């Protein structure tokens, strides 16, 4: 058991190292460097020299990579070219806002999706299942910005219940954010619910067809009890990893949804940094998102290990 | 092939999916001949007109005909994502079949890297690449092709492992056949169905990704008529001129839904029910 846990941590560390290396190498591979890309036609003379010195570009790439990773591990993400400030001074409030949005969406979506997935799975191909699966298909295929625009039209323009875009001053408290996040949370949860529900449903159908469920039926165990005792616990384990993977959708969706609602989170910060060609900022936000993602997957792996004794046996 | 088509059409969802997909592809192909106006022509005397007989879907902020723009709006998205889907299916399918058949240490090591790639939020990576290489099809096609190829690789590799463990492959190996003939003659023919379904499914996801990029301002560039970009541009006037936003939204969503339904129906017709498989 301890070796298995260590191995999971090892893979998470490997993934973060790999992802950071790829992100660093991608920027290294560009013609020119961070400074010429930012300054464009002004990239000459003292301005370029100052930028190169400030970003430490005169050092070899390997040293800079080491510095970048070591700095990030201590919460120092480099220096924003556009904002002329250390990146970590700019990200924490944004990080809180995104965590608030994503966290509420996940807390709302995951239990609801599991419930709906089980409801659809045990009634396979019956009206409940068909309508739930149909709705999930729509939620998965219609782009987030379309759903968001439709919600804005109905709830912000026609009914005027919620603001169409986020209007808060920097430094707003969590309480002031709340009315602004209702619509973004609905859009994000809809996609999450659809993905997780589909997986839970597939998993439930799989378990319902298994020998031990057949056996329980033949023994005359009431259907309700079969579902509660056999189907749900066994269907949860494969679904757990998929739930973690859908967090990737959540993270990607967050970028689009934040942009639609002009929400002051990490996503809008990253998009603005891309418009500004502020690569240190882009790299920092991408790294933070990746670490969150890997951490969520690690948690799911560990939870699966706790829940499923079979995974703890040798050979896995 | 004809049989497959008949089975697909026999389901209402399959017929709807095929119909929507064909409709949009044909509209994209023949848009220049169907559209009543030039999609980029601005008209200062016809700004934000409501739908009428002259302008079926109204006009936008620059007086351009929304109907003509919606007709043209899928061309770039369909071309870009279809090319990317072909690239992804080819490389992901090829590598997946290879690793699944070879197995052993090569496979195990490669899967570590594949897992690491799969645990990257790819949209962020795409945004990083765009911030370096600039927006536009030249950056987006290979990147979408690569990342979706990784996901296809994972699925196909799993299926190839199952095929490689079957008796006829063992027999071919025992006859002393080399790796490539075994892959080409024994393994690949058993996986072409999965490749077709995976390719079609990923195509619909790529359309979603590309239009999201266009919406963010990193896909199509103005004045190109593109659904995602049109929504982004006309969104500010949603309360006064909703037609400029509604029609591109409608066209885009119906195409993605169409391809999705089609892929699902092909999968069911071939006996690969994606709804009961845990996807990557």
* Mean pLDDT of the region B239-256: 91
The minimal CB distance from A14 to the residues B116, B228, B277 is found for B116
Work out the pLDDT band at B22, boundaries 50, 70, 90.
Answer: very high
Q: What is the pLDDT of residue A202?
A: 86
Q: How far is residue B177 from each of residues A52, B99, B102, B103, B165, measured CA to CA in Å?
A: 58, 18, 14, 17, 16
Q: What band does B258 get if pLDDT is binned at 50, 70 and 90?
A: very high
CATH number of residue B11's parent domain:
1.10.3720.10
Is B47 among the domain residues?
no
Is residue B40 in some structural domain?
Answer: no
**Residue B36 lies inside a defined structural domain of this protein:** no
In a domain, B145, yes or no: yes
Q: Has residue B135 been placed in a domain?
A: yes
pLDDT tens per residue, range B114-173:
887 877 777 777 887 887 777 788 888 998 999 899 989 988 998 888 888 888 888 888
In a domain, B37, yes or no: no
User: What mean pLDDT value characterizes chain B?
Assistant: 86
**Are residues B129 and A15, on separate chains, in Cβ contact within 8 Å?**
no
Put simply, the chain B residues between 248 and 277 with a CB less than 8 A from any chain A CB are: 249, 252-253, 256-257, 260-261, 275-277
Best residue of B73, B117, B119 to probe chain A, by most A CBs closer than 10 Å: B119
In this structure, the number of other CB atoms found within 10 A of the CB of residue A256 comes to 23
Cross-chain Cβ contact A18/B215 below 8 Å: no
Does any CB of chain A come closer than 8 Å to the CB of residue B116? yes
Q: How confident is the model at residue B277 (pLDDT cuts 50, 70, 90)?
A: very low
List the single residue in A with minimal CA-CA distance to B245.
A149
Positive or negative, the CA dihedral B49, B54, B58, B61 is negative
Cβ within 8 Å of A, B 204-223: 204, 208, 211-212, 215-218
Nearest Cα of chain B lies from the Cα of A298 at a distance, in angstroms, of 11
pLDDT (mean) for B21-37: 91
Interchain CB contact of A209 with B (< 8 Å): no
Beta bridge partners of A192: none
- What is the ipTM, given to two decimal places? 0.86
Domains of chain A: residue spans and CATH: 2-73 (no CATH), 92-308 (1.10.3720.10)
Q: In total, how many domains does chain B have?
A: 1
Residue-number span of the structural domain to which B180 is assigned = 2-28+56-279
B48 inside domain: no
**In 10 A of CB A309, how many CB atoms?**
8
**Which residues of chain B does A29 touch, with a Cβ-Cβ cutoff of 8 Å?**
132
Question: Is A234 near chain B, with CB under 8 Å?
Answer: no
Provide the pLDDT for residue A53. Answer: 77
CB contact under 8 A, B253 and A143: yes
In a 3-state reduction of DSSP, which class is residue A85? strand
Q: Is the pLDDT of residue B256 over 80?
A: yes
Using CB atoms, pick whichever of A19, A282, A293 lies closest to residue B131.
A282
Closest partner residue to A146 among B120, B125, B253, by Cβ? B253
Q: How many CB atoms lie within 10 A of CB B185?
A: 13
Residue (of A265, A303, A282) closest to A81 by Cα position: A282
pLDDT over 70, % of chain B? 96
Q: Is the pLDDT of residue B241 over 60?
A: yes
Smallest Cβ–Cβ distance between A18 and the set B116, B130, B218 belongs to B116
> Within a 10 A sphere around the Cβ of A5, how many other Cβ atoms?
15
Residue A204 to residue A210: CA distance in whole angstroms: 10
pLDDT, one tens digit per residue, over B57-116 is: 888 888 888 899 999 999 999 999 999 999 999 999 999 999 988 888 888 888 888 887
Specify if B253 maps to a domain. Answer: yes
Confirm or reject contact between B164 and chain A (CB < 8 A). Answer: no
pLDDT per residue of chain A (316 residues) written in tens, 0 to 9: 678 888 888 888 888 888 888 888 877 877 767 777 787 777 777 877 778 777 777 778 788 888 888 888 887 888 787 777 888 888 888 888 898 898 899 899 989 999 999 999 888 888 989 899 889 989 888 999 999 999 998 998 888 888 887 777 777 777 777 788 889 999 999 988 998 898 889 888 888 888 888 888 898 888 888 888 888 888 887 777 777 777 766 777 888 999 999 888 899 998 888 888 888 888 888 888 888 888 888 887 788 778 777 777 654 4
């Amino acid at each position: 058991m301890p070796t298995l846990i260590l191995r999971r941590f090892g893979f998470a560390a490997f993934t973060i190292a790999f992802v950071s290396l790829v992100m660093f190498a991608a920027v290294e591979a560009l013609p020119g460097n961070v400074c010429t890309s930012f300054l464009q036609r002004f990239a000459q003379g003292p301005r370029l020299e100052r930028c190169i010195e400030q970003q430490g570009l005169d050092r070899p790439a390997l040293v800079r990579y080491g510095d970048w990773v070591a700095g990030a591990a201590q919460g120092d993400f480099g220096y924003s070219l556009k904002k002329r400030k250390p990146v970590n001074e700019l990200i924490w409030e944004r990080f809180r806002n995104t965590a608030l949005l994503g966290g509420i969406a996940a807390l709302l979506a995951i239990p609801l999706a599991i419930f709906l997935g089980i409801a659809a799975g045990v009634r396979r191909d019956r009206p409940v299942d068909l309508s739930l699966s149909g709705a999930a298909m729509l939620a998965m295929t219609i782009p987030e910005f379309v759903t968001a625009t439709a919600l804005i039209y109905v709830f912000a323009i026609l009914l005027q219940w919620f603001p169409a875009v986020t209007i808060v001053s920097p430094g707003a408290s969590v309480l002031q954010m709340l009315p602004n996040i209702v619509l973004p949370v609905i859009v994000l949860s809809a996609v999450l619910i659809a993905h997780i529900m589909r997986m839970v449903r597939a998993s439930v159908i799989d378990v319902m067809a298994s020998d031990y469920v057949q056996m329980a039926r033949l023994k005359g165990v009431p259907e309700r009890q079969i579902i509660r005792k056999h189907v749900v616990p066994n269907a949860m384990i494969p679904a757990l990893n998929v739930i973690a993977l859908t967090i990737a959708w959540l993270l990607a969706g967050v970028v689009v949804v934040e942009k639609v609602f002009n929400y002051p989170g990490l996503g809008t910060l990253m998009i603005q940094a891309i418009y500004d060609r502020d690569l240190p900022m882009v790299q920092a936000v991408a790294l933070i998102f990746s670490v969150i993602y890997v951490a969520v997957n690690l948690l799911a792996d560990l939870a699966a290990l706790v829940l499923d004794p079979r995974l703890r046996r040798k050979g896995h | 092939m004809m049989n497959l088509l008949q089975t697909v059409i026999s389901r209402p969802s399959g017929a709807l999916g095929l119909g929507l997909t064909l409709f949009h592809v044909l509209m994209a192909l023949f848009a220049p001949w169907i559209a009543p106006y030039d999609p980029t022509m601005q008209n200062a005397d016809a700004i934000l007109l409501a739908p009428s007989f002259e302008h079926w879907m109204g006009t936008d902020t620059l007086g351009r005909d929304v109907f003509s723009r919606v007709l043209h709006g899928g061309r770039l998205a369909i071309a870009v994502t279809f090319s990317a889907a072909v690239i992804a299916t080819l490389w992901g399918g090829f590598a997946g079949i290879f690793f699944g058949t070879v197995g052993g240490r090569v496979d195990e090591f490669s899967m570590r890297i594949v897992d690491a790639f799969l645990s990257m939020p790819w949209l962020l990576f795409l945004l990083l690449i765009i911030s370096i290489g600039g927006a536009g099809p030249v950056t987006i096609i290979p990147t979408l092709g690569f990342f979706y190829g990784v996901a296809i690789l994972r699925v196909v590799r799993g299926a190839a492992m199952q095929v490689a463990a079957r008796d006829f492959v063992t027999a071919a190996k025992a006859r002393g056949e080399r790796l490539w003939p075994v892959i080409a003659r024994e393994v690949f023919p058993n996986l072409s169905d999965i490749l077709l379904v995976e390719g079609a499914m990923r195509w619909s996801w790529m359309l979603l990704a590309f239009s999201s990029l266009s919406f963010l301002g990193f896909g199509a560039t103005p004045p190109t008529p593109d659904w995602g970009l049109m929504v982004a541009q006309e969104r500010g006037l949603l309360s006064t001129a909703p037609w400029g936003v509604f029609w591109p939204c409608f066209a885009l969503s119906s195409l993605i839904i169409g391809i999705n339904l089609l892929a699902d129906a092909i999968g069911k017709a071939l006996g690969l029910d994606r709804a009961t498989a845990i996807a990557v």
